[in-house]
């Protein structure tokens, strides 16, 4: 599959060197290994209990990865989502962060409500594919000026169709991504082939993480 062209805007670090891409073929990993977040983030960003994290498009906090994020003893965790029913479910769960706040906002509105450097790490779990490609690239570029240390993305790879879910129009998929798309932006990418085994056909997923601080 040919990757759609990406036009790079000026990034915080200039035009970055391409990141690395590591492929985990189908059958070479467990679901738990592909979904593991805590050790993965610690390896890149250091001691998570010292960091402030903003979880963009956090959802209801019910997925395997979302539960791990809630279980990290962040110095500060800010959960952001635009769909109030998800946030109502999230409010019923506990978080280990020393300070945890939940805010109803569209992801792209966070720059109007929080200041640059206020958070060390921005996390987008199954979020980018809900934006058009142009919107998503603009979001990633702005996050390079916003987050103090870096960004972590988890997203399906390739074309994965999805319409509204749970009465939430934000759940529609509006773009698709290939590993080299993130690598060109300087992200290190780990690809887990056929990770979403519940889909027909199974969908591949990837972590894409970039650190600059």
Distance CA 79, CA 60 (A): 10
Across 26-40, 45-59, 197-211, least confident range? 197-211
- For residues 155 and 205, the answer to whether their CB atoms sit within 8 Å is yes
Looking at residue 95, which CATH number applies to its domain? Answer: 3.40.50.150
Q: Which domain holds residue 198?
A: 21-108+115-211
Q: Which candidate, 76, 57, 33, 14, places its Cα nearest to that of 207?
A: 33
More confident residue, 173 or 10: 173
Give tens-digit pLDDT for 106-129: 999 999 999 999 999 999 999 998
Calculate mean pLDDT across residues 32-61. Answer: 97
Strand partners, 81: 104
pTM for the whole structure: 0.87
Residue 60 lies in a domain: yes
What confidence score (pLDDT) does residue 4 get? 43
Calculate mean pLDDT across residues 3-30. Answer: 70
Helical (H) or strand (E) element with 84: helix 84-90
- For residues 56 and 107, the answer to whether their CB atoms sit within 8 Å is yes
- For residues 26 and 94, the answer to whether their CB atoms sit within 8 Å is no
Give tens-digit pLDDT for 154-212: 999 987 665 665 565 556 667 889 999 999 999 999 999 999 867 767 889 999 999 99
Residue 37 lies in a domain: yes
Radius of gyration of the chain (CA): 16
- For residues 165 and 212, the answer to whether their CB atoms sit within 8 Å is no
Residue 70 lies in a domain: yes
Checking if the pLDDT of 2 tops 50, the result is no
Contacts of 93 (CB under 8 A, 6+ apart): 61, 70
Residue 13 lies in a domain: no
DSSP assignment of 23-58 equals: EE-TTSS-HHHHH--HHHHHHHH--GGG-EEEEET-
Give me the number of domains the chain comprises. 1
């Amino acid at each position: 599959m040919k990757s759609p062209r990406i036009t790079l805007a000026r990034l915080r670090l200039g035009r970055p060197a391409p990141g690395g891409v590591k492929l985990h073929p189908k059958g070479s990993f467990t679901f738990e290994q592909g979904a593991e977040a805590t050790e993965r983030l610690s390896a890149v960003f250091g001691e998570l209990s010292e960091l402030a994290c903003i979880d963009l498009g956090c959802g209801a906090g019910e997925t395997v990865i979302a539960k791990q994020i809630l279980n990290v003893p962040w110095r500060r965790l800010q959960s952001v989502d635009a769909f109030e029913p998800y946030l109502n479910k999230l409010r019923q769960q506990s978080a280990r962060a020393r300070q945890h706040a939940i805010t109803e906002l569209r992801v792209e509105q966070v720059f109007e409500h929080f200041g640059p450097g206020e958070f060390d790490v921005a996390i987008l779990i199954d979020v980018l594919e809900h934006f058009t490609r142009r919107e998503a690239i603009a979001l990633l570029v702005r996050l390079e000026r916003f987050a103090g240390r870096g960004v972590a993305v988890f997203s399906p790879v390739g074309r994965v169709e999805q319409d509204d879910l749970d009465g939430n129009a934000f759940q529609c998929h509006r773009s698709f991504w290939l590993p080299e798309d993130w690598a060109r932006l300087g992200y290190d990418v780990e690809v887990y082939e056929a990770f979403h085994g519940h889909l027909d056909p199974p969908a591949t997923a990837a972590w894409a993480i970039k650190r600059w601080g």
